[in-house]
Structure 1
Amino acid sequence: MHDAEDNAPERDAGDAAAADRTGEADQTVEELVEYCRVQAGLLAGRVETMAAEASDRIDEIDEGIAALRADLDATDAHEETGASGAGDDAGAEASGDDPERTAGDVGDEVANLSEAESDLQRKQAMVEATESRMRLFQELATAYIELADGLIDELESGEADPDEAVSRVVSFEAERDAPAYFEERETLVEVAAESTGDSIAEE
C-alpha cells in the first residue's frame, strides 16, 4: 500500500516527461508542416511571376506578328503597284518592280523581315521555356502540399515521429532537387547536408 503511494510521484514525473516528449515531437512535425506550406507558397508565387512574364512576352509576340503582317502587306502592295506601272510605262523593267525602289531597298526589306521573324521565334522559344518551368514549379508546389497533408495525418493519428518526419522531408527535397528552385532560400536538405558534411548528390 505504502509502496504504491511512494511510487506515485515517480509515475507522475514519468508521465509528465512522456507528455513533454510527445509535445516536443508534435511541435517538430508541426514546424515541418509549416515549412512545407511556406515552400509551396513561395513556389506558387514564382509561378505567378513567370505567368506574368510569359503573358507580357506573348503580347510582344502578338504585336510583332501584327507588325510583320503589315510589312508583308506593304511589300505586296509595292510589288502590285510596280507590276501595274510596268504595263502602262514602256520604260519600266519587265520584272514588274517599282521603278522608284532600288535593289538595295528590296534587300533591306527582306533583311528586316527575316530579322523580325527570327526575333519572334526567339521570343516564342522563351515563352515555351517559361511555361515548362512553370509546370515544374507547380508540380513541386503540389508535392510539398501533399507532403504537408501526409504529416498532418500522422499527427492526427498520433503516429508522428519527428526523426522520421525530418528524414522524409529531406529525402523528398533531395529526390526532387529542391535547392535548384530556391536560389535565395536554404532548404532543409541543404541544412542536413551541411550538418553531416555530405553533398546533396550523395543523399
Structure 2
Amino acid sequence: MKGRRLLAVASLLVAGGVAFFVLNNGRGLLRKDPHALPKASKADQALFATYGGSPTCRSCHLDAYRLWEGSHHAMAERPIDPAIDSVAFQSHFRIRHGSNRDYVQTRRGRFEIVTLGPDGRQRAYEPERVLAVNPLRQFLIPFPGGRYQTTELAYDPNHPDWFNVYGDEDRRPGEWGHWTGRGMTWNVMCAGCHNTRVRKNYNAATDT
C-alpha cells in the first residue's frame, strides 16, 4: 500500500513538472516560426569566413595535395570539366532504358542530355555539375527553386557507355522517383555523402 502511494506521489510530481514546463516554455515554442532557417553557429560563421578553398593547402602540404587532387574524394562532386567529361557527350551515344529513347550531344559548345522532362516531353538539359569520375559519373541539372536534380542516366568511362542506374525500371514523369521528382533532388540523394560540412538551406515556407 505504501509503495502505491509513493508511486502516485511520484506520478503527480512528474505531471506537475511537465505542466510547469509547458506553461512557461510552450508559448515561446509556439511563437517560433516553424519555417525559419536554422542559423549557423558562431563557430560555423567563423569557419566559413576564413575558408580559403582546397588550393590554399598546397603550399604547406604539397605531397598530400598532389595525392588528393586526383582522388575519388576530390572528385566526389565537382563542376563539369571538358578535359575529362567531353567524351561522355559524343553524339553517337543513344540510351535505351525502359520505354525511353534518350541521347546526349554537344551543341554550340554545351553538353546536353536529351530526355523526358516533368511534363513528359523530351527536351535538352544542360548539366552543371558531376558526381564522381570513376567507375561512373552522374550529372546534376539545375531546376527552378534553386534545386539540382540527379539524372538516372550515368556514364561509365570504362566501357564507355551510358546506362540507367535503376536498370530496367521504367520511372515516369510525375512519379516521386523519376529524375525530375522530389526523390531525385541533390538534397535527398547526393548532398550528405558527396560533400563535407554541407548546409542545404532548404526553406519550407518558399519551397526553395
Q: TM-score, normalised by structure 2?
A: 0.19
Higher helix share goes to which structure? 1
**Which structure has the larger Rg over C-alpha atoms?**
1
Higher strand share goes to which structure? 2
